[in-house]
Structure 1
Amino acid sequence: MPASTAAKSSRSIVKSILSLEQAEGVGAHVRRSIGRPELRNHDPFLMLDEFNVDKSGGFPDHPHRGFETVTYILEGHLQHEDSAGHKGIVGPGDLHWMTAGRGIAHSEMPVKSQTRVRGLHIWINLPKEHKMCEPQYQELLDKEISRATPQEGVMIKVIAGESHGIKSKVYTRTPTMYLDFKMDKNKTVEQSIPASYTGFIYILKGTAYIGDKEFEGKAHHTLTFSEDGAETIKIQTKEEDAHFVVIAGEPLKEPIVQHGPFVMNTQEEIFKTFVDYQNGQNGFERARDWHSTIA
């Protein structure tokens, strides 16, 4: 196929997974797709949850090593605190992007006045050379996240990466794009995506039609893209508006050995991580005996 023709074709959908609800944390419920047996991981992505937490629940003190956690709030206000000294509150449309690196413990709990907090959690793997980096924290409020408006009735929040000439402020050690789309009914948009990226769409509301064959995606489904080198995703709405995220990244193509909140490349590194955490060393000096004030 000539390069000019290939560039115009859209990625297609190869798998659709309904995110089933399960208990997580303390009194919290999540709809998980990536991270379940049907889609154990989607390199470089390790987990995707749509979470719902009431004021009596949350995600109290827990450690991490070897990857990044991304929390994007859709409804309500969430408190967060970690062993590296970061603390704050994020609300609707806000983002916090935490690079766990060599070791961190953190807690995420609803503000007590909230009846419910809803959002998305994503775990993104780190390449081998960054797994033991120092922890880093990035936070963007809704008003600080740039928007692209390629046409009337289509609004794209550029959380990470780039869309229609608008670039995000977020630094990603694993090259990643994270876009929040809101589309009115009867609209069509094309989104560029690097040829080497893997990716997916997660539908939050309504129905979207993806690709040249117009694969129908409905709420709470994760739709994974073909890996055919096409550099465009075509997305349409018809009888109703839609709200969804497009997330894609450069696959690391490295071994993944995961044990709960620790993700490394070998079983020996996982064993060493447990020893480090138990002894409060090699990055866990502040994490082992740390307790948040919000949990």
Structure 2
Amino acid sequence: MNERQLQHIIPSHPTSDGDGVKIRRVALFDQPVADPFLMLDELSSDNPDDFIGGFPPHPHRGMETLTYLRHGSLEHRDHMGNRGMINSGGAQWMSAGRGVIHSEMPAREMQQLHGFQLWINIPAKDKMQAPKYRDVSAAEIPLITHGNGMQVRIIAGRWQIEGNDIQGPLTDLAAHTGYLDIELPAGSSLSLPTPAEQNVVAFVYQGQLQTQPLAPEKSLLVFGQGEQLSLNAQSDTKLLLLSGNTIGEKIVHYGPFVMNSIEEIEQAIQDYNAGRFGRD
């Protein structure tokens, strides 16, 4: 099989969002090599002052979010009447479509939060579809373990892992997105078949893979085309592995709106300001 090689290293940067929530962000709106992925935020702190303000009500249009928690709790509420709490190991998927107004708030008594939010682009033909939402509990997420300490959680998509063909609970994401959370002990390796037509990226949130050049921790690694990917851990390593079909369309981004033209962005702003946002 044609092996994927590391092509780009995109660093993350500290910033804040919502009501002062401290995050590390990889912004990908101007990075077509990561298409269909738009942004990845990591939230990680054991100081409640860094996250307790959460993300009060705000709008979205034209994109999807997938929130995955390693530790902590977040409550989602939206204009459609959805209300759900995810806890450690769980995930929330939201397709904003033509418009969602929602909030994401941490549990008040929580002392630690560690999780990720991925933004996924939606093709132009589907951007104005009806919004959707789903909670996924930790118990619904398949876990593959190995005697050497390797762990792989299959959150979205279909993967072949250690000879097992496994489907994650989330199957309707835009661009046929796949999503794994992988833990590799130092010196171990994992080889995965990957669809040749998809882009594949990895966010190493702890440790370091053996790559040329070496990628700093908290970086997004973009791999070239191929049918197989080999991950080799230089140290105890934890990473998210993402795959998705290339959309290949112009991206115009303004705050929480992701469309294909300035005119569509202006329409989204007008709809929201006029109180039409979130209506069927």
Compute the TM-score of the two structures, normalised by the length of structure 2.
0.90
1:45 matched to 2:55? The reply is no
Q: Secondary structure at the match of 1:143?
A: helix
| d(CA) in 1 for partners of 2:136, 2:16 | 28
Whether the aligned pair in 2 keeps the contact of 1:181 and 1:246 (CA below 8 Å) is yes
* Aligned positions of 1:184-195 closer than 5 A: 184-195=185-196
Residues 11 and 151 of structure 1, relative CA distance in 2, 3 Å threshold: farther
| d(CA) in 1 for partners of 2:29, 2:11 | 11
Whether the aligned pair in 1 keeps the contact of 2:33 and 2:222 (CA below 8 Å) is no
Q: 1:157 is matched with which residue: 144, 150, 153?
A: 153
1:83 matched to 2:79? The reply is yes
Match of 2:222 in 1: 224
Instruction: Report deviation, 1:152.
Output: 4.5
1:18 matched to 2:11? The reply is yes
| d(CA) in 1 for partners of 2:213, 2:231 | 9
Q: Secondary structure at the match of 2:267?
A: helix
Instruction: Report deviation, 1:225.
Output: 1.0
Instruction: Report deviation, 1:100.
Output: 0.5
Whether the aligned pair in 2 keeps the contact of 1:201 and 1:246 (CA below 8 Å) is yes
Match of 1:62 in 2: 58
Whether the aligned pair in 1 keeps the contact of 2:121 and 2:174 (CA below 8 Å) is no
Once the two structures are overlaid, the 10-residue window that deviates more, 166-175 or 28-37, is 28-37
Whether the aligned pair in 1 keeps the contact of 2:26 and 2:40 (CA below 8 Å) is yes
1:280 matched to 2:279? The reply is no
2:5 maps to a residue whose letter is S
Runs (5+) with no aligned partner, structure 2: none
Match of 1:234 in 2: 230
Whether the aligned pair in 2 keeps the contact of 1:130 and 1:173 (CA below 8 Å) is no
Match of 2:141 in 1: 145
Residues 148 and 184 of structure 1, relative CA distance in 2, 3 Å threshold: same
Whether the aligned pair in 1 keeps the contact of 2:29 and 2:253 (CA below 8 Å) is no
Match of 1:4 in 2: none
Instruction: Report deviation, 1:216.
Output: 3.1
| Alignment: residue pair count | 271
* Aligned positions of 1:23-38 closer than 5 A: 23-35=16-28
Whether the aligned pair in 2 keeps the contact of 1:34 and 1:40 (CA below 8 Å) is no
| d(CA) in 2 for partners of 1:150, 1:280 | 52
| d(CA) in 2 for partners of 1:232, 1:266 | 36
| d(CA) in 2 for partners of 1:44, 1:179 | 16
Instruction: Report deviation, 1:36.
Output: 7.4
Instruction: Report deviation, 1:190.
Output: 0.6
Match of 1:291 in 2: none
Match of 2:173 in 1: 172
Compute the TM-score of the two structures, normalised by the length of structure 1.
0.85
| d(CA) in 1 for partners of 2:159, 2:215 | 21
Instruction: Report deviation, 1:218.
Output: 4.0
Residues 223 and 249 of structure 1, relative CA distance in 2, 3 Å threshold: same
Q: Secondary structure at the match of 1:276?
A: helix
Cα deviations across residues 30-72 of structure 1 (Å, max 9, x unaligned)? Answer: 11113477x4882111111112463532111110001101111
What is the RMSD of the two structures over their aligned residues, measured on CA atoms? 2.0
Instruction: Report deviation, 1:163.
Output: 2.1
Cα deviations across residues 174-228 of structure 1 (Å, max 9, x unaligned)? Answer: 2111111111222111112111111211012112225xxx5534421111111x3
Instruction: Report deviation, 1:96.
Output: 0.2
Once the two structures are overlaid, the 10-residue window that deviates more, 14-23 or 147-156, is 147-156
Residues 110 and 40 of structure 1, relative CA distance in 2, 3 Å threshold: farther
Residues 162 and 151 of structure 1, relative CA distance in 2, 3 Å threshold: farther
Residues 139 and 215 of structure 1, relative CA distance in 2, 3 Å threshold: farther
Instruction: Report deviation, 1:117.
Output: 1.6
| d(CA) in 2 for partners of 1:120, 1:160 | 14
Instruction: Report deviation, 1:91.
Output: 1.4
Cα deviations across residues 116-150 of structure 1 (Å, max 9, x unaligned)? Answer: 32211110010112111111112111111112347
2:20 maps to a residue whose letter is G
| d(CA) in 2 for partners of 1:75, 1:134 | 31
Whether the aligned pair in 2 keeps the contact of 1:148 and 1:166 (CA below 8 Å) is no
Runs (5+) with no aligned partner, structure 1: 1-6, 287-295
Instruction: Report deviation, 1:12.
Output: 1.1
Whether the aligned pair in 1 keeps the contact of 2:15 and 2:23 (CA below 8 Å) is yes
